[in-house]
Structure 1
Amino acid sequence: MRTAEEEIVSSCPQCGVEIRTDRRFTTWCAACEWNVDPQGPGEEKRGPAAVRRRIAQHYGELLFTELRAGNSGGRSVSGLFAYAIALTVHGLTCILAAVGVWGLIAGWGGLGMVFGLFFLALAWSLRPRLNRLSDDDRVLLRDEAPELYALVDEVAAVLGTRSVDAVVVDVEANASVTHLGLRRRLLTLGLPLWEVLSPQQRIALLGHELGHFTHGDTRHGMVVGTACRSLSTWLYYVRPMPNPNVVQAVTNLACVPLRLLVTAVMALLDLLTARASQRGEYLADGAAARTGSTEGAVGLMDRLMVTDSIATTLQRETNSRRLRRTGRGGEQNADGLWEALVAHLDSVPESECERRRRVGALRGHSVDASHPPTHLRRRLLLDGTPVPAAVTADSVRAERIAGELADVRATLARDVVRDGYGDL
């Protein structure tokens, strides 16, 4: 809650309406939108990321119109083309492996073995890689967090899908699901985002992430996803060498056609999977509303609009704690880090939240280049019939889950203070 000292009362210089705002945030007018976006959208960046964002906005707006009209926007044939291209990429890897084996057999004992080993090594580096846990992942197992897993299981049951096999907690202001190996499922929870959500918003977050399993996502699926990784490896191999000598300059020039081909194939896969990816996000938002209520899902959207504030607040808090470090290894100064983050986010006035929503609509804000515009996702939820929560978490349940996360909260707070947020 803001104090009287923090409130500013003024008149809009454009329309004269009285403005009440918080001195910590931008002064703007809700009536005529004066100064709603003082920084402006900035210059549009070029490159693959900018192209992906424009494609995401295009399909996001198109699917918003379809879904709002009641059309579920079924799967398109573009997904089949994406699978065909991905299988072609994997087929090329198999051909390289076969050539390598032939080279070993045909050139046994001679220079042909070098030829064969080279192609085998190339095929091995381009092989489809399944996701796996790393040694640095902070994994919560079922016996360590039974209440959290029970909540995830309940959300999965409501959505009619299988629950996850492992939960990883990290310091990103995000959450995601993915496959581990061939059949296992992994849920990654970003503690900064989890901390600033209410119990129902957390359930909506779980519903959204598990909703991806029920609706599918071609871009991040096993076939297409691993093909994209193989193409990224190809692109790494044919990247131009900096400050080349004569031989390297010739090599760079020779690699240009292959580099253009790989880039074109990656862009084509992005284009073919963009619509399905946007559709999956909208349908996952519907899953969030069914499990955590429409109100919880909309509240989650509002929090996603201020993820930059989460990062800024954590950077400020960690920097101040590092400067006044008094405990051994900085452990003492890590106390209250997450509470300070929550307090700041809760103190943001509704006027600032509304300003950010309008700025998001003006700029086409999205979580990343694979998501539809956030304001359209929020609007689609509000335009539909309000849905009550199918899963709830009372104070007792919330406290139990908090207790299960206590150790990892303390560990991550110490890591953030020690290393600085954004440097982990």
Structure 2
Amino acid sequence: MDRVRAGAAVALSAVLHLVTWAVAVGGVLLVVLGWETVVQPVLGLILLGLAVHLRPPADPVDADGVLRRTDAPRLFSLLDDIARALGGRSCDAVRLTPGFEVRAVRHGLRGTRLDLGLALWATLTPQQRVACLAQALAGLTGTDVSRHLLVRTALRIGSRPVAPSDDSAALRERAFATPRTSRRTDDLAEAAGRFRVDNALSRWTVWLVTWPLRQVVRLVRRLVAPLAAEAERRSDASAAEVASTEAAVAALTRREAAPALDTELRRLAVEARAFGREDASDALWGRLASHTANLPAAPSPGGAARSRAGLLAAAEPRPARVTLDPEAAAALERELEPAGRAVARRYIRDVAGLPG
């Protein structure tokens, strides 16, 4: 059954890409071959615009937050040790983010990148960090169909919001109504209203035209969801084998506390910006770690996370195969400190909503 699901997901994803390419090629042909007419180039431009909308959006990469091997040799050495223990490959780059997740993603044809959330990283013990890294890298060595090139790009097709404006009906009434007194005094308002109506109508058109493709994307997502969940459980088991069962369960539990910790992180960022502390970016992650250490025992995870943690706890306990001693952990902290400071500075600026 899993093979049928995976095959169907890949096939539907291929169809989505073929449709996108067919729309683009058709648009180019209409523009080039029908240049002597008026209608065909216009239709071609419309098709090209639709193809641009349907293309998978590029994966944004902040160059300032991306580390290569020369930037963080200790981190990549740890990743290499974990990858060898898993029997897979390491990552080509590491992107530091202010979030509460650690995940390995594929980009391009064969590239791999680790997204390392510094907020989560700061709240973990050294061995729990090993568990998170192992769980992320294990996803690259498995057979998760959602990481297939065709599938992962198809899932992002049409991801741009195209929902019609909620006040489109009111805009139509305003734009198409007869002016109450003088058109001279209302010209600017009427033009603005008509522009907004045209925009709403065009979004309605795009929404209707892309509706079938978006339903196919939803079907692909439903096909890969159980396969991705099974792959996640296998990654949990691999993390327990590499970093120990205790560390894997504790790291999973800490991840489930992310919503509460995210609220505290935002409060710290706003406070730092409001009081203009010069050392705010230096101390942000440390203050979050101190707050986490002073919390009562971490709550047990719920939902799917509870099931995953229960499966790990019920299995035979595994000792650690890759360890991170306090000295190595401290050296790794010093290595990530400059880049982490830059990420904290941007996070404080963005959360506060102020320039610079």
Instruction: Give the secondary structure class of the aligned counterpart of 1:178.
Output: strand
Instruction: Give the secondary structure class of the aligned counterpart of 2:3.
Output: coil
Distance 1:335 1:400, change over 3 A: closer
Q: Is the Cα–Cα contact under 8 Å of residues 177 and 188 in structure 1 kept in the other structure?
A: yes
The alignment status of 1:166 with 2:93, answered yes or no, reads: yes
Alpha-carbon deviations, 1:66-113, whole Å to 9, x = none?
xxxxxxxx8331111111111111111121123123313431333233
Distance 1:315 1:231 in 2: 31
Q: Which residue of 1 aligns with 2:294?
A: 347
The alignment status of 1:75 with 2:6, answered yes or no, reads: no
Instruction: Give the secondary structure class of the aligned counterpart of 2:155.
Output: helix
The code of the aligned residue for 2:293 comes to D
Distance 1:392 1:324 in 2: 40
| Alignment map for 1:116-265 (pairs within 5 Å) | 116-128=44-56, 131=59, 133-135=61-63, 137-233=64-160, 236=162, 239=164, 242-244=167-169, 245=172, 258=209, 260-265=211-216
Kindly state the Cα deviation for residue 120 of structure 1 after the two structures are TM-superposed.
3.1
The code of the aligned residue for 2:285 comes to W
Q: Which residue of 2 aligns with 1:412?
A: 343
Distance 1:315 1:121, change over 3 A: closer
Distance 1:392 1:105 in 2: 62
Distance 1:391 1:167, change over 3 A: same
Distance 1:422 1:170, change over 3 A: farther
Q: Is the Cα–Cα contact under 8 Å of residues 103 and 114 in structure 2 kept in the other structure?
A: yes
Alpha-carbon deviations, 1:155-176, whole Å to 9, x = none?
1111111111111111011122
Q: Which residue of 2 aligns with 1:18?
A: none
| Alignment map for 1:19-30 (pairs within 5 Å) | none
Distance 1:320 1:130 in 2: 34
Q: Which residue of 2 aligns with 1:59?
A: none
Q: Which residue of 2 aligns with 1:62?
A: none
Q: Which residue of 1 aligns with 2:251?
A: 300
Q: Is the Cα–Cα contact under 8 Å of residues 131 and 181 in structure 1 kept in the other structure?
A: no
Q: Is the Cα–Cα contact under 8 Å of residues 154 and 217 in structure 2 kept in the other structure?
A: no
Q: Which residue of 2 aligns with 1:375?
A: 306
The code of the aligned residue for 2:93 comes to A
Q: Which residue of 2 aligns with 1:390?
A: 321
Distance 1:413 1:396, change over 3 A: same
**Higher share of residues assigned helix:** 2
Q: Is the Cα–Cα contact under 8 Å of residues 130 and 181 in structure 1 kept in the other structure?
A: no
Kindly state the Cα deviation for residue 267 of structure 1 after the two structures are TM-superposed.
2.5
Candidates 115, 132, 154, aligned match of 2:43: 115
Distance 2:326 2:267 in 1: 30
Kindly state the Cα deviation for residue 229 of structure 1 after the two structures are TM-superposed.
1.8
Distance 2:220 2:54 in 1: 17
Kindly state the Cα deviation for residue 411 of structure 1 after the two structures are TM-superposed.
2.3
Distance 2:255 2:226 in 1: 22
Q: Is the Cα–Cα contact under 8 Å of residues 130 and 180 in structure 1 kept in the other structure?
A: no
Instruction: Give the secondary structure class of the aligned counterpart of 1:385.
Output: coil
Distance 1:393 1:422, change over 3 A: farther
Q: Provide TM-score, normalisation by structure 2.
A: 0.82
The code of the aligned residue for 2:272 comes to R
Alpha-carbon deviations, 1:13-50, whole Å to 9, x = none?
xxxxxxxxxxxxxxxxxxxxxxxxxxxxxxxxxxxxxx
Candidates 311, 319, 342, aligned match of 2:270: 319
Distance 1:105 1:402 in 2: 57
Distance 2:239 2:354 in 1: 31
Unaligned ranges ≥5, structure 1: 1-73, 365-372
Unaligned ranges ≥5, structure 2: 177-196
Instruction: Give the secondary structure class of the aligned counterpart of 1:341.
Output: helix
The code of the aligned residue for 2:130 comes to I
Q: Is the Cα–Cα contact under 8 Å of residues 93 and 114 in structure 2 kept in the other structure?
A: yes
The code of the aligned residue for 2:267 comes to R
Distance 1:261 1:394, change over 3 A: same
- The size of the alignment, in residue pairs, is 328
Q: Is the Cα–Cα contact under 8 Å of residues 294 and 388 in structure 1 kept in the other structure?
A: yes
Distance 1:309 1:147 in 2: 31
Q: Is the Cα–Cα contact under 8 Å of residues 130 and 182 in structure 1 kept in the other structure?
A: no
The code of the aligned residue for 2:261 comes to I
Instruction: Give the secondary structure class of the aligned counterpart of 2:10.
Output: helix
Q: Which residue of 1 aligns with 2:227?
A: 276
Identity fraction in percent: 32
Kindly state the Cα deviation for residue 143 of structure 1 after the two structures are TM-superposed.
1.0
Distance 1:302 1:422 in 2: 31
Q: Provide TM-score, normalisation by structure 1.
A: 0.70
The code of the aligned residue for 2:239 comes to A
Q: Which residue of 2 aligns with 1:13?
A: none
Q: For the aligned residues, what is the CA RMSD?
A: 2.8
Q: Is the Cα–Cα contact under 8 Å of residues 16 and 213 in structure 2 kept in the other structure?
A: no
The alignment status of 1:309 with 2:260, answered yes or no, reads: yes
**258-267 vs 137-146, greater mean Cα deviation:** 258-267
Distance 1:264 1:423, change over 3 A: farther
Alpha-carbon deviations, 1:281-339, whole Å to 9, x = none?
101111111111111101101211211232122223233333433xxxx3234443222
